[in-house]
Structures are given as structure tokens and as C-alpha cells.
């Protein structure tokens, strides 16, 4: 039993309208539904009793993975999950890092679109070639400081880059990145507990290290290890774990949480929640399982803690 590909990324925002200028108006995600979080869901998420949450659920033309859920809190949230652009956190601190989209048109044009919408780049475009694949990437600052990456792919295999429908300018969330503390702990959790597949695992080569450091914001010369988990055959909904060896920073303890601003939950839908929970350690089950209302639907949900300060929402339809 595998959790399958990442279905939904939840992002806490101070202003849904502002976030939609990026994710709906530029990236092209469409609103699938809006609702107020039920009290039982808010309780399961660990929101304070006086906090309500307005949820906006978006997808890329209904594609079932790589979807986005915006959560606006009342009273407004103030704590950021990660604040590493001129903030107190480091780019190499352990925890959720970024969400990644493919751009299906000229990168300069995409930069202009993002900048005009108020979300400027935080890095220069980085171009590199590995074997037959060619990629150009750069990092942007999204709503409430959330890092998001744009990628332009040349000759990427169908296992990693979904063929987009005609006219599509961007993609669903293809990948999320996480700064990793211990790769072996992550292999156990993502592989043994979540049942995902190790798609690749490798150190960044010396000839690409400088540009990779620049892209993620690590100090020059910091060694890097990439560990990618996926759920075949879906090319999206992947996790890219980045380990910096002795250059790894502090843990962003407890920061990935639905009460905070930024990337706050990774959601997977499963048919047998019990099978996942049987493989998880007791200290990895943070809340639930509990049956709760999610918009018009009902799910049996458990919240799991990952090895890198991640927080997972595992749901079984009722």
C-alpha cells in the first residue's frame, strides 16, 4: 500500500486574493471549491479554538496530483513556516523549502509575468545539462515569502515531466522540495511508511555544485545530495529532498503547521489509512485518525510527522 503521488500542497496566506494573482491569474490554476474549515477539521489541524480558516482549493485543469489549497486564517496568521529571504532562517535549515512548476514557454517571458504580478525572482536563471536532459531554473518569492521554482525542461523523460495540454503555459505542482537532515531516516519514512519509490539518489557533481548552491541559496562550495521520491506512473507529485552534509542548518521545529503562513501540509488520499498507520511509529502519528468534514465530503484523516519537520495529512474517503 502506497500513498501514491502528492495530491495537495496546503499554503497558509494572509490574503487569498493576493495569492490568486499568482496561482490563478499567472500560473493558470483554476478554483475547484471554496469553503470554511469545519470545526472538527480545524481541531484535527491543531488550530486554536478562536481561529477560523477559509480554504480555496485549486488544480491544474482537474489533474489529480500537484493541487494547491490556500488557507486564510482569521485572526490572521503571523508566523512563517520558512523565512529565508533576508529573514531569520537559513536556506539550508531543515524543513519544507519550495514548490516547483514547469513553465511551458520562454523563461524571460515567464519572469516578466511573475514580476508584473508582484512576485519577483530571487535568483538568476540557472542553466545546466545532465546527460541528455537540459534544464533552466530559477527561484521566485511567492505569497508570504513562499519560495517557488520555475523549470523549463528540454528532453526531460515522461516519468518526470508530464506532457501538458495544448496552450498550457505552466503546470501543476510537479515537485516539492524539502531540506533533509538524514537521508537514511528519509528513506525509511518515505519508502517504508509512505510506500513511495526512490526515483534517484546522487550527490551533485562538482561541475554543477556552484550553480546548484546559487539556486537554493546555500553558501558556495556546500556539498549537496539529492534524493527523489515518486509514485509511478505519475510524473508529478514528487518529493525532492536536499541534504547538505556538514553544511546542513538547524531544524525548523514545529514550523510546518496549518496555523502558519507558507507550506503547511502535504496531503495524500489513500484507500486504506490503517495500513499506513500500522507502518508509522507512534511518535510519527501527531493527530487522528478521526472522521471529519472537508467541504462537502467526509474523510478519515491522520496527521503524520516526517523526519525533516514535514507534516503529512493522510486521508481516506468515507
pLDDT digits (tens, 9 = 90+) for 50-90: 999 999 999 999 999 999 999 999 999 999 999 988 889 99
End-to-end Cα separation, the chain, in angstroms: 18
The arithmetic mean of pLDDT across residues 30-42, rounded, is 96
Strands 147-154 and 170-180: unpaired
Residue that the C-alpha cell 529565508 belongs to = 84
Among residues of the chain, what percentage have pLDDT more than 70? Answer: 98
Closest alpha carbon to 316 in 274, 270, 268: 270
What is the pLDDT, as a whole number, of residue 89?
94
Rounded to whole angstroms, how far apart are CA atoms 124 and 44?
Answer: 41
Residue 198 vs residue 167, higher pLDDT: 198
Q: What is the pLDDT of residue 168?
A: 83
Give the integer Cα–Cα distance in Å for 54 and 74. 8
Name the residue with cell 527523489.
228
Residue with cell 486504506: 272
* Mean model confidence pLDDT for the chain: 92
**Residue 316 pLDDT:** 97
Q: Which of 297, 296, 237 is nearest to 268 (CA)?
A: 237
Backbone angles phi and psi of 178, in degrees to 5: -135, 135
- Confidence category of residue 131, pLDDT binned at 50, 70, 90: low
Chain segment 196-227, per-residue pLDDT in tens: 999 989 898 888 898 889 888 899 999 999 99
Task: Give pLDDT, residue 130.
Answer: 66
Q: Give the model's pLDDT for residue 166.
A: 78
- Sequence-distant contacts of 165-168: CB under 8 A, at least 24 apart: 165/61, 168/28, 168/60, 168/61, 168/104
Q: What's the rounded Cα separation, in Å, for the pair 260 and 186? A: 24
Which are the contacts of 44, defined by CB distance < 8 A and separation ≥ 6?
Answer: 287, 288, 290, 292, 301, 303
Within a 13 Å sphere around the CA of 120, how many CA atoms are in the beta-carbon half? 3
Q: Name the band, by pLDDT with cuts 50, 70 and 90, for residue 246.
A: very high
Q: What is the pLDDT of residue 134?
A: 78
pLDDT reported for residue 257: 97
More confident residue, 126 or 40: 40
Does 171 have pLDDT greater than 80?
yes
Please write the tens of the pLDDT for every residue from 255-308: 999 999 999 999 999 999 999 999 999 999 999 899 999 988 999 999 999 999
**Quick check: 289 and 164 in contact, CB under 8 A?**
no
Reported as a pLDDT band with limits 50, 70 and 90, residue 132 is low
pLDDT of residue 69: 98
Query: Tens digit of pLDDT for each residue in 12-32?
Result: 999 999 999 999 999 999 999
User: If we measure between CA atoms, which residue out of 184, 312, 313, 179 comes closest to residue 247?
Assistant: 179
Q: Is the pTM of this model over 0.85?
A: yes
Amino acid at each position: 500500500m502506497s500513498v501514491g503521488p502528492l495530491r495537495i500542497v496546503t499554503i497558509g496566506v494572509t490574503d487569498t486574493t493576493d495569492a490568486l494573482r499568482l496561482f490563478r491569474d499567472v500560473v493558470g490554476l483554476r478554483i475547484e471549491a471554496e469553503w470554511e474549515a469545519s470545526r472538527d477539521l480545524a481541531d484535527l489541524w491543531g488550530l486554536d479554538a478562536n481561529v477560523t480558516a477559509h480554504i480555496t482549493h485549486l488544480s491544474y485543469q482537474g489533474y489529480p496530483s500537484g493541487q494547491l489549497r490556500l488557507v486564510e486564517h482569521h485572526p490572521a496568521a503571523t508566523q512563517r513556516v520558512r523565512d529565508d529571504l533576508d529573514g531569520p532562517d537559513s536556506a539550508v535549515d531543515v524543513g519544507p523549502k519550495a514548490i516547483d512548476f514547469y513553465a511551458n514557454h520562454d523563461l524571460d517571458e515567464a519572469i516578466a509575468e511573475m514580476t508584473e504580478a508582484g512576485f519577483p525572482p530571487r535568483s538568476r536563471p540557472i542553466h545546466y545539462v545532465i546527460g541528455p536532459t537540459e534544464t533552466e531554473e530559477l527561484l521566485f518569492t511567492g505569497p508570504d515569502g513562499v519560495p517557488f521554482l520555475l523549470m523549463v525542461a528540454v528532453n526531460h523523460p515522461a516519468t518526470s515531466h508530464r506532457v501538458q495540454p495544448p496552450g498550457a503555459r505552466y503546470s501543476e505542482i510537479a515537485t516539492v522540495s524539502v531540506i533533509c537532515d538524514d537521508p537514511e531516516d528519509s528513506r525509511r519514512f518515505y519508502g517504508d511508511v509512505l510506500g513511495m519509490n526512490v526515483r534517484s539518489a546522487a550527490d551533485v557533481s562538482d561541475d554543477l555544485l556552484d550553480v546548484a548552491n546559487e539556486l537554493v541559496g546555500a553558501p558556495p562550495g556546500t556539498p549537496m545530495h539529492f534524493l527523489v521520491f515518486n509514485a509511478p506512473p505519475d510524473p508529478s507529485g514528487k518529493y525532492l529532498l536536499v541534504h547538505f552534509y556538514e553544511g546542513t542548518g538547524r531544524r525548523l521545529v514545529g514550523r510546518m503547521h496549518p496555523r502558519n503562513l507558507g507550506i503547511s501540509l502535504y496531503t495524500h488520499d489513500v484507500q486504506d489509512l490503517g495500513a499506513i498507520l500500522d507502518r508509522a511509529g507512534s511518535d510519527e502519528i501527531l493527530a487522528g485518525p478521526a472522521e471529519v468534514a472537508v467541504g462537502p465530503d467526509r474523510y478519515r484523516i491522520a496527521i503524520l510527522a516526517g523526519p525533516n519537520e514535514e507534516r503529512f495529512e493522510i486521508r481516506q474517503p468515507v
